[in-house]
Amino acid sequence: PTSKLLLQQEAKLDISDSGQKAAIAAEVVRPDTAGKRRWLEKINHSALPFAKLRVAMENLYPSSQGQLQASTAEQRLSQLAALDAEKDPVFMRSYAPALLPRQCSHASMLWLEKALQATPELSAQTQRNLKQAIEKEQRCVLIKDTLKL
């Protein structure tokens, strides 16, 4: 059986809250572009309970899936201001660390800086999260460049 089929079978066996969250984590972590895009839409526009959305956010783009993360990076940044205006601070506090694009590259650093400059209407918290993401990218790029020497 495929991993998707096994996941569906397990989700039916364990209907507890923790079982449902584990099933969400297992589903979103799969390296499936279409599935990740569907979950990104669910995260942005779903009425699912926040606890389940947070699990999806935290597992959607593991560090080993950089190309998949890059495929929706611009989309996530372009939707950031609308999400920030629509969602509550608790949602955004989880969204930013999990879904702001970070790839330890000059390109992702520029994306984040451009997003910060282009959206002055962001809440103070989201601006701070963007600035922290930029700092982490700068630090990572500096380390990576230093190791190349």
Question: Region 102-128: what's the mean pLDDT?
Answer: 93
Q: Both tokens of residue 44?
A: 């942005």
Candidates 146, 29, 50, 45; CA nearest to 94 is 50
Burial 25-52 (b: 16+ CB within 10 A, else e): ebbbbeeeeebbeebbebbbeeeeeeeb
102 in Cβ contact with 133 (< 8 Å): yes
Confidence at residue 1, expressed as pLDDT on a 0 to 100 scale = 61
User: What does the alpha-carbon distance between residue 15 and residue 117 come to, in Å, rounded to a whole number?
Assistant: 45
* Res. 82 pLDDT band, cuts 50 70 90: very high
Question: Region 135-145: what's the mean pLDDT?
Answer: 95
Q: The pTM is what?
A: 0.84
Question: What's phi and psi for 11, nearest 5 deg?
Answer: -65, -35
* Res. 5 pLDDT band, cuts 50 70 90: confident
* Res. 44 pLDDT band, cuts 50 70 90: very high
